[in-house]
Structures are given as structure tokens and as C-alpha cells.
Structure 1
Amino acid sequence: MKSTPARMRQILLVTVTALFIALLAPPPCRAIAPVERFVLPNQLVVLVSEEHSLPFVTFALLVDAGARRDPS
């Protein structure tokens, strides 16, 4: 099958139109679960966000420590 310039322009036009329509589509709307903040006696801050409709648990640990926090 030979591709002619007219056929290539048609394919390009369809592709650009499809991309343009996809960009105009609204983003999916998803509610964000509220975040609870707890400060433990050792000043550790715990942020909890519960989403009971999902069957998994995600855990992330960020520690504000290291050489930049060293007083010397």
C-alpha cells in the first residue's frame, strides 16, 4: 500500500484532531480524603489520610533529620 501525500495529510489531521479533543476533556474528578495531623510526645508529626473504599495500605516515612539539622 503506497502512502500518498493526501493520505498522509488525512492521517495527520485525524491524529491532531483526536489529540485536541483529548486535551479538551475535563480531568477526572476525585475527592481527596481529609488529612488528620497528630504530634506525638517526641515531636514526631503523623499525618493520616483514610480511604476505606480502597483495599490496601500505603505507608511513607519522611524524617526531617541529617547533617543539615546538626547544630555544629
Structure 2
Amino acid sequence: MFVHNDRLVDALHNQAHAAMLHDPGARAYYQELRSREMNHNAALRQLGPDHPLARIPVFLTLTDQVAD
């Protein structure tokens, strides 16, 4: 069974977009992905898991679920 959490997806998308705007390394990686003919959303989805800050929302979500 596949579970899809819209709020988590939106949070990770926004985090990847913010990283792409404010982190030179993330911006360079995003531009590299775009140069490979990858569209904007696909590049952000790829950027999300590869950026160190992407793990924070997932960790907080997992710990919130365990703590409740």
C-alpha cells in the first residue's frame, strides 16, 4: 500500500525551492538537472532528497508520529 501525504510533499517541495533560491550549491545542482532536459518540478523533486536540509521535515514528521 502506498501512502501519499500531501502536506509532506508540499513541505519538501517548498524546502527544495527555498534551498534552490538561497543555497549556491543547491542552485548549481538544480541548474545541472535542468540542463539535462529535466523539468522544474522533477528537478526540485530530485534536489529535495539530495539536499542536507531535506531530512529535517521527514525526521520531525517521524518523531511527531512516534511521540503521539
Determine if the TM-score, normalized by the shorter chain, exceeds 0.5.
no
Scaled by the length of structure 2, the TM-score of the pair is: 0.29
For the pair shown, the structure with the greater C-alpha radius of gyration is 1
Scaled by the length of structure 1, the TM-score of the pair is: 0.28
Q: Work out which structure has the larger RCO, using CA pairs closer than 8 Å and 6 or more positions apart in sequence.
A: 2
User: Which structure shows the higher helix fraction?
Assistant: 2
